[in-house]
Amino acid sequence: MLAKVNSGCVVGMDARPIDVEVDVSNGLPGFSVVGLPDTSIRESRDRIRAAIKNSGFTFPSGKITVNLSPADTKKEGAGFDLPIAIGILAATKIITQEKLEGLFLCGELSLNGRLKSFRGALPMAMLLKEKYETFILPKNNAREAANVKEITVYGVSSLKKTVDHINGITPLEAVKIEEKSISEPGRRKHDTADFKDVKGQEFVKRGLEVAAAGGHNVLLLGPPGAGKSMLAKRFATLLPDLSVEESLEVTNIYSIAGQLKSDGLIHERPVRNPHHTISYAAMAGGGSWPLPGEISLAHNGVLFLDEFPEFRRDVLETLRQPIESGEIVIARSQHSVKYPSRFILIAAMNPCPCGYFTDPHKSCQCTSHQIQRYLSKISGPLLDRIDIHLEVPRLNYAQLKGRRLGEESDIIRKRVLETRDIQKERFKTKHSPLAQNSRMTVKETEAFCILSDEAEELLKTAILELGISARAYDKILKISRTIADMEKSETIESYHLSEAVGYRCLDRNLWT
């Protein structure tokens, strides 16, 4: 008696269809799972046995062989519990094989026959929608998968209910997501934090607006208590809402990481704020079956690294490649996975170990050697990838006491949106989330960064006088392009350029 059930597993961002074949035959009783299962699948034997018995069915005595095909790829996850259990019941004629055609099953069983959620329901539904029409998933995953409109999703709570549904004894109602939840911009999580809370710091705010508009990475430098963290935390409120496309990408990653809190799509831009003691694997993604790390969880959002030089060197260096390419490839001996990691990096640091080097009022206690060592923790190549360096000065009494509130985030965001639209128009041919000035290739920089004569002259002087490197030159062009876009100017004027040069304070060798 042979049965076949359709299921699948997620490897990296890919979902693979897996056929679960179950054979129940005579011979010495035994239960074996073949087809390169990992430990969690092998252990499913005991869960399935108990779940079938506790759901009121008889567990067949005989030789049970389960094959997960294709046999040559490794499989992982507890999601195979449900398909194997249904396969055993089909092989013992409790369910007929015909009813399993076009049906996709996935879910983890508990000993009492209840179904538990598993990781990666959304990517599975998205990638396997062409192959199968009907998905039967644990109740907690059903809404997540129902975001894919092309398929019918049923959410089940137990093995017994699944069997009754398949046999048509008590058919369930398909899970439907109201149309609005996919198109409606989500409520803003950051509602409480607003840019207007930050007093003064107009220069820094302007810099962050430029960063938000062009998707540039930012380094905030300043003494303790100047408001670096406060500014960085409010940065996300300047960014436009996630597009549907971006929202699906983000939800996919969170689904794979098992960190999806609500059952719908994620609408807010993710803001990740890992502590500086974070390990390499947690930052980049890791494990023998690599899960997404912080940089992927920050995809399409903001990665805020406070106390930047305190992070471990190897952790910081892993950021280099993802910043450049917008994705990370995690290789293991058996397979490698690729996760997207396109984020805006906001790094905050003090100018020296004691923090007061640039403070006009409090004197710095550090020796020049100490400062040098502190700054050298951030490698040149990494610094090169950060477009905008902003000094956050400490506020004086008058500024602190001032009644004047800053501009509201909503107003700034409107301007950011306009600038982004200009960029979208410019990079029409590109995948839309990539349409940002900060992601210009060398060719595009040449084509789009047209300087006025005056600006050309200024740049020449800047390079000669300030000792600006070739890479910094490229960054300056990109930033000035964004600034020009903010003022809807076709060519880059000298004042755009000089503002851009102002955002490169670390190039100006302040600290030597």
Which residue in the set 3, 9, 13, 33 belongs to the binding site for another protein (CB under 8 A)? 33
Q: Which window, 61-69, 250-258, 431-439, 476-484, contacts another protein (CB under 8 A)?
A: 61-69
Q: Which window, 25-33, 280-288, 391-399, 457-465, contacts another protein (CB under 8 A)?
A: 25-33
Q: Which window, 60-68, 314-322, 429-437, 504-512, contacts another protein (CB under 8 A)?
A: 60-68
Return the structure tokens found at 96.
Answer: 């007929």
Q: Is 39 or 183 the residue whose CB approaches another protein more closely?
A: 39
Pairing of β 327-331 and β 388-391: unpaired
Q: Is 310 in contact with 321 (CB distance < 8 Å)?
A: no
Q: Which of 111, 101, 57 is nearest to 81 (CA)?
A: 111
Q: Is 37 or 120 the residue whose CB approaches another protein more closely?
A: 37
Q: Is 321 in contact with 328 (CB distance < 8 Å)?
A: yes
Q: Is 25 or 170 the residue whose CB approaches another protein more closely?
A: 25
Instruction: Give the integer Cα–Cα distance in Å for 205 and 219.
Output: 13
Q: Which window, 19-27, 240-248, 280-288, 314-322, contacts another protein (CB under 8 A)?
A: 19-27
Strand partners, 9: 16
Pairing of β 388-391 and β 285-286: unpaired
Which residue in the set 25, 262, 288, 491 belongs to the binding site for another protein (CB under 8 A)? 25
Q: How far is CA 310 from the centre of its chain?
A: 23
Q: Which window, 23-31, 219-227, 235-243, 280-288, contacts another protein (CB under 8 A)?
A: 23-31
Q: Which window, 27-35, 157-165, 255-263, 357-365, contacts another protein (CB under 8 A)?
A: 27-35
Q: Residue 413 CB, nearest distance to another protein (Å)?
A: 55
Q: Which window, 55-63, 110-118, 386-394, 434-442, contacts another protein (CB under 8 A)?
A: 55-63
What is the gyration radius of the CA atoms in the chain, in angstroms?
28
Which residue in the set 16, 53, 63, 74 belongs to the binding site for another protein (CB under 8 A)? 63
| 61 lies in the site for another protein, by CB under 8 A | yes
Which residue in the set 29, 102, 381, 402 belongs to the binding site for another protein (CB under 8 A)? 29
Q: Quick check: bond before 70 cis, omega within 30?
A: yes
Instruction: Give the integer Cα–Cα distance in Å for 428 and 181.
Output: 27
Q: Is 33 or 177 the residue whose CB approaches another protein more closely?
A: 33
Left if phi > 0, otherwise alpha if psi is -120 to 50, otherwise beta: which for 94?
alpha
| 71 lies in the site for another protein, by CB under 8 A | no
Instruction: Give the integer Cα–Cα distance in Å for 369 and 221.
Output: 19
Q: Residue 41 CB, nearest distance to another protein (Å)?
A: 9
State which amino acid sits at residue 262. S
| 183 lies in the site for another protein, by CB under 8 A | no
> Which residues within the stretch 473-512 sit at the binding site for another protein (CB under 8 A)?
none
Instruction: Give the integer Cα–Cα distance in Å for 357 and 371.
Output: 9
Q: Residue 75 CB, nearest distance to another protein (Å)?
A: 13
Q: Is 71 or 244 the residue whose CB approaches another protein more closely?
A: 71
DSSP 8-state symbol, 363: -
Q: Residue 28 CB, nearest distance to another protein (Å)?
A: 5
Give the other-Cβ count within 10 Å of 193's Cβ.
Answer: 17
Burial class (CB in 10 A: 0-12, 13-18, 19+), 494: middle
Q: Is 144 in contact with 118 (CB distance < 8 Å)?
A: no
With H, G, I as helix, E, B as strand and everything else as coil, classify residue 49: helix
| 57 lies in the site for another protein, by CB under 8 A | no
| 224 lies in the site for another protein, by CB under 8 A | no
Q: Which window, 57-65, 120-128, 235-243, 286-294, contacts another protein (CB under 8 A)?
A: 57-65
Q: Is 175 in contact with 143 (CB distance < 8 Å)?
A: yes
Q: How far from 385 is each of 5, 219, 376, 415, CA to CA, in Å?
A: 49, 10, 15, 25
Q: Is 106 in contact with 82 (CB distance < 8 Å)?
A: yes
Q: Residue 141 CB, nearest distance to another protein (Å)?
A: 27
Q: Is 25 or 379 the residue whose CB approaches another protein more closely?
A: 25
> Which residues within the stretch 447-476 sit at the binding site for another protein (CB under 8 A)?
none
Q: Residue 36 CB, nearest distance to another protein (Å)?
A: 10
| 42 lies in the site for another protein, by CB under 8 A | yes
CB contact burial 77-91 (16+ within 10 A = b; e otherwise): bbbbbbbbbbbbbbb
Q: Is 32 or 376 the residue whose CB approaches another protein more closely?
A: 32
Which residue in the set 11, 31, 156, 289 belongs to the binding site for another protein (CB under 8 A)? 31
Instruction: Give the integer Cα–Cα distance in Å for 148 and 162.
Output: 21
Q: How many residues bind another protein (CB under 8 A)?
A: 15
Give residues in contact with another protein (CB under 8 A): 25-34, 37, 42, 61-63
